[in-house]
Amino acid sequence: MLIQLAWKNIWRNKKRSLIILSAIAIGLTCGLFASAVMYGMWDTTIRNTIDKELGHYQLHSNEYKAENLIANYIPNGETVIDSLQMQPTTIAVSGRTIVEGIAASPTSSGGVRIIGIDPPDESKVTTLYQYMKQGAYLDTVKANTIIIGEKLAEKLNLKLNSKIVLSFQGLDESIVYSAFRIQGTFSSESSAFDETTVFVRQTDLFALLNHPIIFHEIAVRLDSDKELATIAGQNQQKFPGLKIETWRELAPELNMVNDMMSLYLNIFLGIILLALLFGITNIMLMSVLERVREFGMLMAVGMKRIKVFFLVIFEAIALSLVGGIIGIIFGSILTVIFAHVGIDLSIVSEGLSSFGVSSMLYPSLPWTIYPTLTFMIIVTAVISAILPARKAIRLKPSEAIRSF
């Protein structure tokens, strides 16, 4: 009956309760949606980085990790790839041949990372092909074709089908030159990636290096990253001469964001609730001061002070939970809608791409936010009601029952 009384009490002054209820609901709807946008943005960025470039984990020779030299390739790379492909959790494996070099056009030049790939294998591990803006993804037929980032094309003043000259140090430390025809340009979320990375066919690189198959990097895609750390650990034992790193180690800044995101969300929602806390306290205080005589009567007829205290606490919890649940429902609906249609921020895509963030945002929230948020609402309600509840139990029944 105490809870029943608390519930009925909050509807005594409907207008006032509805105002604070709306404030809580609107605050949490906006807060939850803003959190979903933030979370979705970083979640997309992490997934894009895995999809576009990293894969779930990579293997390099220890020497290559120490120094990115062409000679520091993975010994017996083909055997390693075969072994990885046999593992049940592996979806795809791509061996990459990587050299650092210079890309030059008739007007300009710039340092680039030249990545030799087997296009069919690479397309199973990463989604680079989805970022093609002009032309086509590398095919297996035409020799000496290249795809470059739009940013680099712009910098070198190159167009589709233009020739670009790549120069790099060969295995014998001689300088290798070759002209490639631009088959396509890509544009990812990261302008830095687009400006410094070019992709060529692995077979063309092998020919230029005058060397049979070598891989500097092996990228692996798994069916899920749930067992990522275990799988990486097992393979590290299997290939002790190689350095195995998950995407968390390869992109520590993203890993940090990933780990901190839940904390950020909780802090962000906590700040919103803190602002609401003062509103709830104010409303509860008004409500208690309006019912001084009633609290006096309750204590006079035999209601213990602890029960009076909890009556006020329950009222605040009921008020906050109703507003909170409405806010969570509306916030979730907004999140679900925009998770499907996306939020197009192409108007500021330039700025976002410098941070490696996609201009198309898909809000999302981890399910764990809901119980956490509900708990935070209850805690907020309890804290906000402490002062009014203390006020209620400090009343002297003999004086309170005669007040008006």
Partner 1 sequence: MPLIELKKICKTYSETKVPVEALRDVDLEIEKGEFSAIVGPSGSGKTTALNIIGGLDDPTSGQIIVDGHDISTLKKDEMINFRLHHIGFVFQAYNLIPVFTARENVEFIMLLQKISKEEREKRAIELLTAVGLADRIDSRPSELSGGQQQRVAVARALASHPSFVLADEPTANLDSKSAISLLELMEVLNHEYGMTFVFSTHDSRVIKRAHRVITLVDGMIASDVLNTSAHEN
**What's the closest the beta carbon of residue 302 comes to partner 1, in angstroms?**
3
Q: Is 300 in the site for partner 1 (CB under 8 A)?
A: yes
Q: Is 341 in the site for partner 1 (CB under 8 A)?
A: no
**What's the closest the beta carbon of residue 14 comes to partner 1, in angstroms?**
12
Q: Is 3 in the site for partner 1 (CB under 8 A)?
A: no
Identify the sign of the CA torsion 284, 285, 291, 292: positive
Q: Is 375 in the site for partner 1 (CB under 8 A)?
A: no
Q: 310 or 370, CB closer to partner 1? A: 310
CB 311 within 8 A of CB 6: yes
Q: Is 297 in the site for partner 1 (CB under 8 A)?
A: yes
**What's the closest the beta carbon of residue 305 comes to partner 1, in angstroms?**
7
Q: 226 or 304, CB closer to partner 1? A: 304
Q: 11 or 355, CB closer to partner 1? A: 11
Stretch that binds partner 1, among 105-113, 116-124, 290-298, 328-336 (CB under 8 A): 290-298
CB 244 within 8 A of CB 59: yes
List 234's β-bridge partners, or say none. Answer: none
Render the burial of 273-304: b for 16+ CB within 10 Å, e for the rest.
beebbeebbebbbebbeebbbebbebbeeeee
Q: Is 304 in the site for partner 1 (CB under 8 A)?
A: yes
Footprint of partner 1 on 8-37 (CB under 8 A): 8-9, 11-12
DSSP assignment of 223-240 equals: S-STTHHHHHHHHHHH-T
Q: Is 322 in the site for partner 1 (CB under 8 A)?
A: no
Residue from 133, 211, 243, 293 in contact with partner 1 (CB under 8 A)? 293
DSSP assignment of 248-302 equals: HHHSHHHHHHHHHHHHHHHHHHHHHHHHHHHHHHHHHHHHHHHTHHHHHHHHHHT
Of 7, 6, 92, the C-alpha closest to 56 is 92
Stretch that binds partner 1, among 45-53, 90-98, 343-351, 391-399 (CB under 8 A): 391-399
Q: Is 170 in the site for partner 1 (CB under 8 A)?
A: no
Q: Residue 184 belongs to what H/E stretch?
A: strand 175-186
Burial class, 169, CB count within 10 angstroms (exposed 0-12 / middle 13-18 / buried 19+): middle
**What's the closest the beta carbon of residue 2 comes to partner 1, in angstroms?**
8
Binding site for partner 1 (CB under 8 A): 1, 5, 8-9, 11-12, 293-294, 296-305, 307, 396-398, 401-402, 404
